[in-house]
Structure 1
Amino acid sequence: MTTILNHATSPAKVQMRDVESLIRERIESGKYEAGGRLPSERELCEELKVHRRVVRSAIQVLEREGLINRQPNCRATVRSLDTQDTPHPMQNLGSKLQLSRFVALMMWHGNPQEEGGTGQQRIFWGMNQTLGQAGYHTVFLDLVEMIGTENEHADREATHLQYALDQGFGGIVFYCYSYYSNRDLLRKVARKIPLVLIDRDLPGVEADYVGVTNHRGMYEATNYLIGLGHKRIAYITRSEPVNTVQDRLQGYLAALRETFDPGYYEMVLAVPSTEGGAWPAFDAILQAPPEKRPTALVCVNDYEAVFVAGRLTEAGIRVPEDISVIGCDNIITKLPNGVGLTTTAQPFEEIGAEAAKLFLRRAGERKSDIAQVECPTRLILRDSCRPYDGP
C-alpha cells in the first residue's frame, strides 16, 4: 500500500511526523527487515517528496526510540528484535558514576538560525560551570525535534521526566512546552528530587523558578520607540497563556498608558497559530494609508520579528525606513533584509547559573521556601529602528 503525504498543506513538523510514522510502520510490518539497511535519505526524499531535513529529523526520532541504529557516514539500519529493548546508554553509567550527581537540563536544542550558540547551549554552559564547581554534571535531554503543539510535546516530556526519576538523577532543570499537561507528574518529580523551572512558571507546581524581567524589558523597548517620536506602536505576540508572553504584553501596555491617554493607540496582533496561515488583521493594517498604519512594531520574540519583517518586505514596506521593528531575546541579530535587529537580550548564561544555584540550594535543604529569580534583560540597539517626526 502506498502512503500519500499531503505536503501541499502540511507544515514541516507535520511532514516529519508523517515520515516518522511511515518508516515505523514499515519496520513493524517487516518491510524494513531487522538488521537490514533503511533506504538512503535521498531515496526517501525522492519517494516521499519531502525535504532531506524532514527525513533526517524523522530518523533521529526513531533512533532515540531504539528502532534503528546509525553510524557516522553509514546508512541507518533496523535494530534486531533482540536488541530493541537494550537499556538507554545512560543506564550503563551506574557502575562508573553516581547518577545522583547528574542534573538534567530538559528543553529544546534550539534553532541553528541563532548566532553565537543557541540560547539553550548558553543556558547549559552557565549551568555546567556552576554545577561542575560543586561536583555535579549537567546532562542535556532534548525534548523536541521541532516546536509544535501542546499535545505533541506532552508524551515526550512525560517520558523524559519519568526517565530521570527512574534512573536516579539528582535533579531536573525544566523548560515546559506542554503547558497544560503533566502537572501531576511534575508535582511528583518536585517531591522526589529538586526541580527548577525556567522561563515558564507553572501554577500548581511547587518548584523553584528562574525567569527574566520580561515586563521591564518590553516596557523599556516600547519607551525607546516613544523616545524616538513614535506614537503608533503595535505589538506582535502569540496566543499563549504563559507568564512570559503575558508579562511582555503588559510591559508594552504599561509604557503606552504611562505616556498617552488611555486607549490612544493600543494595537495587539497575534500571529497565525499555524505556519503559513492567513493573517487578515495584519494585512489590513499594511493596506492602510501610511498616516494611519503603525510606525513601529514591538515583537514578543526575535522569531516573530523576522516573520513580520518578511511580511513587510512582501508588501513593499521597508524596515526601518517605513516601519521600525524591535524583537526580544537577542538570539537573531539580523533581519532577512540584512538590517541589524534591535532587541531585548536575555542573559542565557546567567539563567543557567541561577538555575544551578537554586538546584544546589534545594539539594542542600529540601524544605527551604520556594524561590523565584528574575535575571535582568537589557536593550540591544542595532539598525532596525529610526526616529519618527510625522503625525
Structure 2
Amino acid sequence: MTFERLQLIPPILKALAKENYTQPTPIQEQAIPPALAGRDLFGCAQTGTGKTAAFLLPIIQRLSTQQGSPNGKRVIRSLILTPTRELAIQISDNFKAYGCFSNLRSAVIVGGVSQQAQEQALERGIDILIATPGRLIDLMNQGIADLSHVQIFVLDEADRMLDMGFIHDMRRIIAKLPAKRQTLFFSATMPPEITSLVDSLLMNPMRIEVTPVSSTAERIKQTLYYVDKPNKLPLLIDLLQDKSIVSALVFTRTKHGADRLVRGLTKAKITAQAIHGDKSQNARQAALNNFKSGATRLLVATDIAARGIDIDELSHVINYNLPNISETYVHRIGRTGRAGLSGIAISFCEHEEIPYLKDIEKLIKQKIPVIRDHPYPMTISAETAAAPPTPSEASVRGASPKEGGGRRRRRRS
C-alpha cells in the first residue's frame, strides 16, 4: 500500500515525499479513506502508530478543496483538541510538514505562554486551530475564539483528557460546535467513559483499532530490577555507568518525584532535566530540545507531560516508578523500538509496587525478566513481599486474615 492509492491530492503527496514517507501505517491506511469521505471516526491506537497523520491528511485535503469564506476572512474550519502543550506543538509541526504545499493556515492555542500572539493569529484568520482545553476556554469566554464554523472536530488522546480532569471543559467546548460536523475521535485505551463519549459525540462512526494496548513491541527488550525505594537513585546512577545508554526517557509517578530525581542525578554529574505540568512552556520546550540534541542525557517526565513527546531513535525507557495503571506501562515502553529499531525498557520495582507489577504482567501476558545480580537487591525477597500475610501477621497489622490478603493501598511516591 502506498499513499498514492489512498487518493490523496498532489500537494499532500509532494509534502509526504519531501518527508520521505511512502507507505501509510495501519491506522493511516484504515482511517484516511473514511475520513476523506466525511464519515465520523473512532480510532483506538497507541502513541507512535501514526494517528496524527491519520487525521491531519484528510483535514488538509478536505479544507484545501473547499472554497474559502464568502467575506474573504478565514474562519476556524477545523478544531483539534489535545490534552498537552507538547502534543499540540507536535501536531502543529506535523501540519507544517504535511500542509507545506497548501494555502491553509493554523495556530496553536495553549496555556503557559502569553496569549497576545495567539489573539493576533486568530484576528488574522486561520483554517485549523490546535488547542488545549484551558486556554481555549479562556479565549472563548473573552469572545476571541469563534467555533461556530467548525466543520471537522478532532478529539485526540481522549483518555488522557479524562485523566487530566478536562471532561467538563471538553463538554463546554463541544457545546459551542455546530451540530452538523465531522468528528474524528482518538484514544489509546477504551475505559467505559470513552465508550460513553463515543456514543454521545459520533454518528454511525467507522471504528478502527490497531496495536492493542496489551501488546508490547517485539523489538523491545524488557528487564526488571527489584530494589528498595531508597536505593533506586544509587541503582540508576550505577546503571548509567553503561555508556551504551546514550539517552533515556525516565518516568516518575509525580512531578515532585521528577524534580527530586533530577537533583540527585545532577549531584552525580549526570545531565538530566525534568518535564512536567508545573514547568513553564518555554522551560519544557528547552528541556525537550536539549534532550533531542544530546545536550541532556536523561529526560525525566511524568506520564501526562510525556504524551505528545515525539523522539526518534530513543534507545532506552526507564520506569523509575512503575505506573499504577497497567496500560500506561505499555505506552511508556512503546516510546522506544519505533520505526523498526530495537529498544530497551528498564523497570525498577520497590516493595509497594509489586501489585502494580502483577497487573502489568497480567495485561502483557508475560513475565518481565528479572535482573537479580545487581548492587542493590531488595532486602526482602520479591516472592515473600508478594505473598499474603499469615494470620499472625495480619493480626499484628490490625486486620483480619482476609483483609490482610488483599491488595495494599496504593499511595503516591
- Provide the TM-score with structure 1 as the length reference: 0.32
- Provide the TM-score with structure 2 as the length reference: 0.31
